[in-house]
Structure 1
Amino acid sequence: MIALGRQVCGDLAAASAREWLVTDGLGGYAMGTVSGLRTRRYHGLLVVAEPGGSARRLGLAAIEPVVRIGDRTVRLATDEWAGGSVDPAGHRHLAEFRIDEGVPRWRWDLGDVVVQREIAMAHGRAAAGVLFTVVRAPHEITLELTPLCTWRDAHGERTAYGEPAVAAAADGFVFEDAYRVTGPGWRPGGDWYHGVYAREEAARGLNAVEDLWAAGRFEAGLASGGTAEITAAATPFDGALPAAAGLVAAARKRARKLVRQAGVRDPAGRQLAIAADQFVVDTPAGPAAVAGYPWFGEWSRDLMTSFEGLFLSTNRHADARAVLLRAGATVSEGMLANTADTGTLEYNTADGALWFVHAIGRYAAVTGDLDTVHALAGPVVEILTRHRDGTRFGIAADPADGLLSQGKPGFALTWMDARVDGRPVTERRGKAVELNALWISALASAAELLGSAEFAAYADRAAASFRRRFVRPYGAGLFDVVDGPAGDDPAVRPNQLLAVSLPHAPIRDAAPVSACAPLLTSLGLRSLAPSEPAYRGVHRGGPAERDAAYHQGTVWPWLIGPYADACARLGLPTAGLLDGLELHLAEWGLGSVSETAEGDAPHAATGCPFQAWSVAELLRARRLLAA
């Protein structure tokens, strides 16, 4: 599915803009670019996660390969330094890059010598394997491999101070008691690589320079067909570490199993099934999902929005059940904790719990497992009752019309939650359109699943109020927010699609879909129409600039799911709707779908290169439109 030749691999800009990812099923990962250039502070071969991925530490940053062919020396790494120099420039020798059953593979063409590298991680353990193979050589060559090391928070940098603690271990070393690296012919050394530069961090307005410790080198003499294996593993690492070749073989075997389980046969479907697995993580409390790589951990809103695509569209029903039961046990005052990425649990989302009820309904529809639904009846009733009567942040149903209102000054509680200098960009206080679509659908779903006449009546009342309050005249679609501090907001946003797309949607005509026509792109939907005064078509620059554009025109691929639902429900044409996103699998975060893209054409990808709900909704939409 993913294969790049010399014209991309040898072009530093093109090859460095394409990233690869492998994960350990715990929230940790290995990640980098096709060129081998570390363009982000987050790139490395061993990034270790705390449970759920809420915090990560970067360990083994890179392995620098050098090939000696007689008197000839070829450096295969690609490094950039503060000041702008690129040295070495091994990408010039890179003839091929592939992702083969989820395993990234490079081949350097050195004339009559071809060297290959493959990278994989253990599943369920913070361990990575790097396998070098001499594909072709007329005689023995020497391969030297220098590990570049650090141990720091993944969101930061580390600069040289003293010498790090490096202890000898069998076939390698232990770095600062945090992780162990093993391989052939270990020769201890030690030197700082000063001024390593990450160009993507500079583009994001962040610190871009750090120092890395070259701990020594591994060395092997290899003939054609020979291999050299490097394994890095975080604590505990007693005994022999798993062989890199075994990790690569196991990763491919797991990928084949995931594809079979998902029941997909086409190349895009196979790749998406593997991509979905990258977000699913095991935690001490059960399975969950990381929202995106490289910087997000678990977010309940993202998890529940992604639920159907990640778990049901891939036939992972046992995991789906466990996710729901785990979430149900965490309900507090009718809400789900949104994230622990800031270090503490935060109950700051007005829609996460409603997406949870939606996920339960979809689980029941797909699996028929009503026993699990009944086990979750208590949390569902608590969610709906507290939302009706009132809970945190002013979330409550208006007694006058049954519609859900929310908001507190200084907070952004919907999915459009960006802030600049602590102030929300799109506060959306009042009765937001997608929240009320979710509210009505949740009430109706609970009424069906639990046999509640009370919820059914409340759903009918809220739906009637919705049609009376949100529908704009002359077929102009729906208001984005009604009864807000400034009155009703007619801004053209994609949120109105949920009023047509959800299983118990209150709207059954095409006006919202037609209104969203200016939002549609080949990579998803813009978050605001270009005709709106607040529209921003560029999503780049420093944190404040990017956050100001985040929901003001930036394209979101996940919204293709609600758009596809609405079109399918109304019988509107969908030919070619997903083609751009399927092509996107080979454009940026390779084999996956980005978090966002710029509103202005050509819609350059932005945000996380690997985003859970983007992958999940493409998976779900493909299955929906193929039915």
Structure 2
Amino acid sequence: MPMVVFGAQVCGDLSAGAAREWLVTDGVGGYAMGTVSGLRTRRYHGLLVVAEPGQPARRHLGLAALDPVLTLPSGASVSLATHEWSGGVVSPEGHTLLERFELVDGLPRWRWRIGPVVVERTLAMVHGRSHVGIVHRLLSAPDEVKLTLKALVTWRDAHAERGASGPPPVVASTADGAVVERAFRLHGPSWRVGGEWYRGAYAREEAARGLNAAEDLWFAGEFGASLRAGEAVEVEAWAGDGEARGARRIVDRARDRARSLTHDACDDVDAALVLAADAFVVAGAQGAPDVVAGYPWFGTWARDTMTSYEGLFLATGWCDEGRELLRAYAATLSEGMLANTADTGQTEYNTVDGTLWFLHAVERHVTATDDEDLAAEVLPGLEQVVAAHVAGTRYGIRVDPTDGLVTQGAPGVALTWMDARVDGIPVTPRVGKPVEVNALWINGLAAVAGLKERLGGDAAGLHRLRERAAASFASRYRIVRAASDVQDAAALYDVVDGPDGDDPATRPNQLLAWSLPHAPLRGTPVPERLFSLFTPLGPRSLAVDDPAFTGTHRGSPAERDRAYHQGTVWPWLTGPYVDALRHSQAKDHRELLAGIEAHLWEWGVGSVSETADGLAPHRATGCPFQAWSVAETLRVRRIVG
């Protein structure tokens, strides 16, 4: 039963409490999300964020806030909510009355104290439906108090804003609440209609990201009840068809589910990582499992999914779900490439490495489960991947016949995981033969060969391809000082045969040459030069002494994209880093995870962030909840014990 507790010193200080975020998901791409202090700091924060069926990236914000107001026995009215407005005013300041925030079994719980009166809020979502239940319980009071819950709503794309310059949301009252925009229901006791704009709600994190930070929220109405100590008010909100389920019942079932997922966790950190992993596994198109790359703004990305596969599905034992995911993704293969994402509104085949991670994921699954039926089903597609790469496919992706290595690149695209673009121009195009792509290629050839031999086939041709690529890798990527023929401390080129020759930049991409199961350099010493990349939250994406190094990942979208892979820390790379050292050095590698374990309670509470600043103190950036960051931490933590 993992528990995180913050007291009044954190909750009551917006610089601390509003910088820590919580997340509850519904298993279909939607969520509830906010901060420990209760302040909405992002346009994405709300108590009901709804994903379109089978489209986790297409989300709408519905119930933005449910503001509690207490009327005490004395007649005094006290608001427990917290909002910030465009003029810089924070009002009301309910966070100053918080004495405690807890995250227990993945569910957030707040406790406010006003003298002898103590009120507690807990919320949970129904797994498999866009449905949230919110319980307010009066824990203690000398006499009866009245609790009013004011519903602030909207209905808009989660990435956008809606304002009072347009029509207000259409709210149709019912006997027990209301229907908003014919899109979602509100249900609770003693509904009373509202009808007023709350103008200028301010989201400070959006301002920090260089985006519009203000929107208007519609006061749809309020629920109310008179309570004595021990009594509770239940409110629900849900999208689509369905009926009320009882908010307390929703909370109880969510808690039971969390405990069933973590029953064999070795400690609270392990349990937290399992619950964090569960948040990313959703029902995708046609009902097959899929993976949300990160909350609150990402949808599904094949590269992230396949990189995360071992941690999300094999380390957790969710192999049946993983099997169906792999089958669904295999059906997207086209011209030897895996569909990468539909987040932009259309399916895109725009990655050179996602397909190679898919080969790795299938081989790891079959090795872990002995699922030869899956191997037989997808092997023809995997062999087509190899054939298409040898013959050549989209974006110049092909095997160079002169050395057996994969080359790639086309104008205006960035095909590796370092894919940021500014004004349509890749920041790190890496045209040529990227080091991790060829480590994945060599690993993938061994994976497909092993699967074919396991099923009784002849893999001699695959072995020849791998042996040639491995030999070329060993001779082409080593950085050598021409005068002394001594290997440089930088170890490997990041890209060879690029438009400007070979790129000696020290990046963590080369870790895959040591970390993968069939890596070309597995078992050989990892150069000390790579150790300088490591930070408490993982490796930097570029060495500090490189002229292009950018130490902070902040500012406008363009500023952030320019820094994204130019020194920014990526926690997911802790997995390859630990594996590379584990395969080459006999030492205790558990200590490499100490920084990430502490980070679990610093930002996205109970989870691992997408990125962090390259310079100390390495403040977290990007998505507070990122799939491959969680997956790789969980995977290697369970390996190193």
Provide TM-score, normalisation by structure 1.
0.98
Matches within 5 A, 1:465-614: 465-473=472-480, 474-476=487-489, 477-508=491-522, 511-573=525-587, 574-614=589-629
Kindly indicate whether residue 281 of structure 2 is the aligned counterpart of residue 280 of structure 1.
yes
Kindly indicate whether residue 270 of structure 2 is the aligned counterpart of residue 256 of structure 1.
no
CA contact (8 A) 1:475 1:511 kept: no
1:52-104 superposed Cα distances (whole Å, 9 cap, x missing partner): 41211110000011011122221100000011000001000001011110110
Unmatched segments (≥5 aa) in structure 2: 454-458, 481-486
**Which residue pairs with 1:111 in the alignment?**
115
1:442-477 superposed Cα distances (whole Å, 9 cap, x missing partner): 001111110211101110110000000001222521
**Which residue pairs with 1:157 in the alignment?**
161
Structure 2: which amino acid aligns with 1:491? A
What CA distance in whole angstroms lies between the structure 1 residues aligned with 2:11 and 2:57?
A: 33
1:398-457 superposed Cα distances (whole Å, 9 cap, x missing partner): 001100001012110000000111100000000000000000000011111102111011
CA RMSD of aligned residues (A): 1.0
**Which residue pairs with 1:166 in the alignment?**
171
Kindly indicate whether residue 640 of structure 2 is the aligned counterpart of residue 625 of structure 1.
yes
**Which residue pairs with 2:464 in the alignment?**
457
Aligned residue among 325, 328, 348 for 2:330: 328
Task: Describe the SS at the equivalent of 1:56.
Answer: strand
**Which residue pairs with 1:314 in the alignment?**
316
CA contact (8 A) 1:6 1:94 kept: yes
Structure 1: which amino acid aligns with 2:516? L
Kindly indicate whether residue 138 of structure 2 is the aligned counterpart of residue 98 of structure 1.
no
**Which residue pairs with 2:429 in the alignment?**
427
What CA distance in whole angstroms lies between the structure 1 residues aligned with 2:185 and 2:289?
A: 27
Task: Describe the SS at the equivalent of 1:99.
Answer: strand
Task: Describe the SS at the equivalent of 2:592.
Answer: coil
What CA distance in whole angstroms lies between the structure 1 residues aligned with 2:298 and 2:227?
A: 41
Identity %: 58
What CA distance in whole angstroms lies between the structure 1 residues aligned with 2:488 and 2:401?
A: 28
**Which residue pairs with 1:217 in the alignment?**
222
What CA distance in whole angstroms lies between the structure 2 residues aligned with 1:123 and 1:508?
A: 41
What CA distance in whole angstroms lies between the structure 2 residues aligned with 1:48 and 1:528?
A: 37
Task: Describe the SS at the equivalent of 1:576.
Answer: helix
Shift of 1:265: 2.4
CA contact (8 A) 1:186 1:216 kept: yes
**Which residue pairs with 1:134 in the alignment?**
138
Kindly indicate whether residue 212 of structure 2 is the aligned counterpart of residue 207 of structure 1.
yes
Aligned residue among 300, 303, 307 for 1:301: 303
**Which residue pairs with 1:443 in the alignment?**
445
Shift of 1:185: 1.2
Q: 1:540 to 1:490 in 2, by over 3 A?
A: same
Structure 1: which amino acid aligns with 2:377? A
Shift of 1:571: 2.3
CA contact (8 A) 1:52 1:289 kept: no
What CA distance in whole angstroms lies between the structure 1 residues aligned with 2:427 and 2:291?
A: 27
Task: Describe the SS at the equivalent of 2:24.
Answer: strand
1:517-576 superposed Cα distances (whole Å, 9 cap, x missing partner): 111001011000000000000110000000000000000000000011111111243241
Task: Describe the SS at the equivalent of 2:631.
Answer: helix
Aligned length: 622
What CA distance in whole angstroms lies between the structure 1 residues aligned with 2:393 and 2:374?
A: 26
What CA distance in whole angstroms lies between the structure 1 residues aligned with 2:377 and 2:247?
A: 43
Provide TM-score, normalisation by structure 2.
0.96
Shift of 1:510: 5.1
Structure 1: which amino acid aligns with 2:472? S
1:314-362 superposed Cα distances (whole Å, 9 cap, x missing partner): 0001011111111111101011111111100111000111000000111
Task: Describe the SS at the equivalent of 2:492.
Answer: coil
Unmatched segments (≥5 aa) in structure 1: none
Aligned residue among 66, 72, 78 for 1:74: 78
CA contact (8 A) 1:54 1:343 kept: no
Matches within 5 A, 1:329-368: 329-368=331-370
1:22-51 superposed Cα distances (whole Å, 9 cap, x missing partner): 000000000000111100000001101122
CA contact (8 A) 2:29 2:282 kept: yes
Structure 2: which amino acid aligns with 1:63? L
Aligned residue among 368, 384, 387 for 1:385: 387
Task: Describe the SS at the equivalent of 1:621.
Answer: helix
Shift of 1:13: 1.2
What CA distance in whole angstroms lies between the structure 1 residues aligned with 2:30 and 2:109?
A: 20
**Which residue pairs with 2:456 in the alignment?**
none
Task: Describe the SS at the equivalent of 1:472.
Answer: strand
Task: Describe the SS at the equivalent of 2:63.
Answer: strand
**Which residue pairs with 2:483 in the alignment?**
none
What CA distance in whole angstroms lies between the structure 2 residues aligned with 1:2 and 1:567?
A: 32
Task: Describe the SS at the equivalent of 1:53.
Answer: strand
Shift of 1:258: 1.0
CA contact (8 A) 1:478 1:512 kept: no
Q: 1:350 to 1:190 in 2, by over 3 A?
A: same
Structure 2: which amino acid aligns with 1:500? W
1:208-259 superposed Cα distances (whole Å, 9 cap, x missing partner): 110000011111111111100110001124xx31211111111111111111
CA contact (8 A) 1:52 1:290 kept: no
What CA distance in whole angstroms lies between the structure 1 residues aligned with 2:431 and 2:175?
A: 60
Stretch of structure 1 that moved more, 89-98 or 52-61: 52-61
1:449-506 superposed Cα distances (whole Å, 9 cap, x missing partner): 1021110111011000000000122252110000000000000000000000001110
Task: Describe the SS at the equivalent of 1:213.
Answer: strand
What CA distance in whole angstroms lies between the structure 2 residues aligned with 1:438 and 1:52?
A: 29
Structure 2: which amino acid aligns with 1:54? A
Shift of 1:163: 3.6
Shift of 1:162: 3.5
Structure 2: which amino acid aligns with 1:481? V
Matches within 5 A, 1:410-425: 410-425=412-427
CA contact (8 A) 2:113 2:119 kept: yes
Task: Describe the SS at the equivalent of 1:271.
Answer: helix
What CA distance in whole angstroms lies between the structure 2 residues aligned with 1:498 and 1:164?
A: 51
What CA distance in whole angstroms lies between the structure 1 residues aligned with 2:380 and 2:279?
A: 32
Structure 2: which amino acid aligns with 1:348? N
Task: Describe the SS at the equivalent of 2:591.
Answer: coil
What CA distance in whole angstroms lies between the structure 1 residues aligned with 2:390 and 2:262?
A: 42
Shift of 1:269: 0.3
CA contact (8 A) 1:19 1:609 kept: yes
